[in-house]
């Protein structure tokens, strides 16, 4: 072989061949890349609540109400401005307390209607010396009766019953039956927990810890004992 006839390719040939390997720029490809970036940003905003739903455990207001001489307690937890919208499927029972019902109010109108109805039910069940004089109405005797009494008093039960989405400035209400006060501290527990069932990936329930003030024992049992809420 005549080695003198073998020559290296010119730099111009190499450059031309490399340029042919680089994809040609196109407007369509640029638009597709931009669209993918936008979808990624949208996914980063909306997917976390779907794939890993969480609840704020601090911030927001709280309401608690007991019924003298009756083992029924209502807790209300308002969620802060940074709460991502998630779906609450249910609330788990606690040692010493059973969930009668749970609801979410989304606006001030529903909040007012629900709490006004609760005041009416409170007066029906109240058995203490400071309770209003009964007008002869028959107090509800079971869970279904309690919920019906709330609805009859104007609470929008069908609209706020779980499952419900909850988000910023919205409220979770839980009605509890106190079954045993001895399991809780008389002084309360600021780190008391409540387990909520949220809607997770593919619609499957996932457990998350809710606001401590949803726990009826968070502020202790002294008031329960004094008001006749604790079972004898």
pLDDT per position as a tens digit, 152-198: 999 999 999 999 999 999 999 999 999 999 999 999 887 888 999 99
CA distances from 162 to 27, 39, 67, 184, 215 (A): 49, 31, 24, 27, 18
Report the chain's C-alpha Rg in angstroms: 30
Distance CA 199, CA 33 (A): 32
Q: Which residue has the higher pLDDT, 114 or 203?
A: 114
How many percent of the chain have pLDDT more than 90?
A: 52
Q: Do residues 210 and 57 make contact, with C-beta atoms less than 8 angstroms apart? A: yes
Lowest mean pLDDT among 17-21, 168-172, 201-205: 17-21
pLDDT above 70: residue 46 = no
Domain range list for the chain? 11-51, 62-227
In total, the chain counts a number of residues equal to 232
15 band by pLDDT with thresholds 50, 70 and 90: low
Going through 9-162 in order, the beta strands assigned E by DSSP cover 62-67, 70-78, 86-91, 97-105
Q: Place 51 in a pLDDT band, splitting at 50, 70 and 90.
A: low
- The pair of structure tokens assigned to 192 is 């008391």
Lookup: tokens for 132:
């209003």
Whether the per-residue pLDDT at 6 is higher than 50: the answer is no
* Token pair for 5: 């006839």
């Amino acid at each position: 072989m005549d080695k003198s006839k073998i020559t290296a390719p010119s730099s111009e040939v190499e450059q031309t061949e490399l340029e042919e390997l680089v994809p040609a720029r196109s407007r369509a490809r640029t638009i597709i890349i931009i669209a993918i970036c936008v979808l990624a940003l949208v996914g980063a905003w909306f997917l976390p609540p779907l794939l890993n739903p969480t609840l704020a455990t601090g911030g927001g207001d709280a309401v608690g109400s007991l019924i003298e001489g009756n083992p029924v307690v209502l807790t209300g937890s308002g969620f802060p401005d940074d709460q991502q919208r998630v779906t609450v499927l249910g609330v788990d029972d606690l040692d010493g307390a059973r969930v009668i019902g749970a609801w979410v109010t989304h606006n001030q109108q529903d909040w007012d209607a629900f709490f006004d109805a609760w005041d009416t039910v409170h007066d029906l069940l109240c058995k203490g010396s400071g309770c209003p004089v009964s007008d002869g109405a028959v107090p509800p005797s079971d869970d279904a009766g309690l919920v019906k009494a709330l609805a009859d008093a104007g609470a929008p039960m069908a609209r706020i019953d779980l499952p419900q989405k909850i988000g910023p400035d919205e409220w979770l209400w839980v009605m509890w039956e106190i079954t045993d006060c001895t399991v809780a501290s008389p002084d309360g527990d600021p780190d008391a927990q409540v387990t909520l069932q949220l809607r997770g990936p593919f619609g499957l329930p996932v457990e998350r810890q809710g606001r401590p003030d949803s726990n009826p024992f968070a502020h202790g049992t002294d008031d329960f004992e004094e008001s006749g809420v604790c079972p004898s």
